[in-house]
A and B are shown apart, each in its own frame.
Chain A
Amino acid sequence: MTTLDALRRLIIIPAFNEAGNLPRVIPEIRNQAPGFDLVVVDDGSSDDTSAVARGLGALVISLPVNLGYGGAVQTGFRFAVRHDYDLAVVVDADGQHDPANIVDLAQVVAAGQADVAIGSRFRGRADYSIPWAKRTGMKVFAWVVSTITGQQVTDPTSGFQALNREVLRFFAYDNYPVDYPDADTLLVLHYAGFRTREAPVTIRQRLSGVSMHSGWKPFYYIGKMWLAIAMVLLREKTHFRQAKVARS
């Protein structure tokens, strides 16, 4: 068992047009999670996200064009691997992820209880109402993942995660979706032999701006999700092999 203080730890904040939220989110994260380095991945924002983040003293990786949530997070993973971090926590820039839970998630990984700790709003609290369609979708995918992995999963869509070094390596160059890490990502981890564990977190109402789950996207999302899950099942063996490489 390793204590958190002995580890080099990073907070990855993917941000797309979040200049309005960062001045509140970054200081709050710093307060709640001291000792973490903080990197903001500006996903091709058209506003001042990069400048604001830099002004707040964060490390900034600014992508020349918009890649999407997963692509931005993966950039953070690459950064973590290259700079030899032991552990990284992904926190959204819109203020939805309560920074008070960052250390809790990191502890789970640091203590070796899991390779990935996933913040679950259903084990913790959701301070906003989730639309029924989205809630139903989440339940269905939670059931699918729970059934396949034989482990109770309540919040497969949670992006609030802490990951250890091996998982960072596994995700940094492959195996991570460009759009949203989701139920399929949990299955990938399962087949790769990584241990995941949910921990209670609070997901709050976003401070300002537009959520990425709006408009027609939910329909595309559901179709893509089933396909992604089917593909993971077909690729079962490949993931295991790649995980072995990441561990070596």
Chain B
Amino acid sequence: MSLQARLYLLLLGLGVLAIAINMARTKRLRESYALLWLLVGAGLTISPFIADHLDQWALRLGFPYAPSLLLMLAIIGLLLIIFLLSISISRNSEQIKTLIQEIGLLRHEIQRLQGQIAGQETPRPPAHEPPHALPSDEPRDPA
């Protein structure tokens, strides 16, 4: 690998590290995700120093063409990041669903209470309502 190419890689790695650290510092990136990007940055930063060994490793692992090993590692890394994001989206969807349901139930409760306060005939409350259950008495969201 030429000196120039190594320099590019090093700069790219340092850039990723700097951005990830800054985003985490300013709380625009959660620590858990920042960690992921720090790993990517670290990998890029050290890669120019280990590039010479790459050919040997690639051959040993059965890759006659070293860059294809690099490409494979990059793809695996990207897939891993996407996978983690999918997991996080699934968890978020579940949490958002719960929030929407709670908002609906609370809206209903507010309207009922407003009606009571106004002393108007409101949609009839259930016959013998239990003392008001607060969300805390429910099973916690496992997420």
Residues of chain A touching chain B, judged by Cβ–Cβ distance below 8 Å, are 8, 37, 41-42, 54, 57-65, 67, 71, 74-75, 78-79, 82-85, 173-174, 178, 245
Return chain A residues, CB-CB under 8 Å to B133.
82
The answer, yes or no, to whether B3 is at the interface (CB within 8 Å) is no
The answer, yes or no, to whether B119 is at the interface (CB within 8 Å) is no
The answer, yes or no, to whether B91 is at the interface (CB within 8 Å) is no
Residue of A nearest to B142 (CB): A174
A8 → B minimal CB distance (Å): 7
Return chain B residues, CB-CB under 8 Å to A58.
123
The answer, yes or no, to whether B11 is at the interface (CB within 8 Å) is no
A54-B123, A62-B104, A84-B126 given; name 12 further pairs at CB < 8 Å: A37-B124, A37-B127, A57-B124, A59-B124, A61-B104, A61-B107, A63-B101, A75-B101, A75-B105, A78-B101, A78-B105, A178-B93
B110 → A minimal CB distance (Å): 11
Return chain A residues, CB-CB under 8 Å to B62.
none
Given A71-B101, A245-B139, also A62-B107 (CB < 8 A): yes
Q: Are B97 and A173 in contact (CB under 8 A)?
A: no
Q: Are B123 and A64 in contact (CB under 8 A)?
A: no
Instruction: Label chain A's interface by main secondary structure.
Output: mixed
- Complex CA distance for A37 and B123, rounded to whole angstroms: 10
Q: Are B104 and A75 in contact (CB under 8 A)?
A: yes
B90 → A minimal CB distance (Å): 11
Cross-chain contact of A74 among B101, B111, B129 (Cβ < 8 A): B101
Cross-chain contact of A37 among B104, B108, B126 (Cβ < 8 A): B126
Return chain A residues, CB-CB under 8 Å to B93.
178
Return chain A residues, CB-CB under 8 Å to B97.
67, 71, 178
Cross-chain contact of B130 among A79, A84, A178 (Cβ < 8 A): A84
Residue of A nearest to B134 (CB): A82
Q: Are A67 and B108 in contact (CB under 8 A)?
A: no
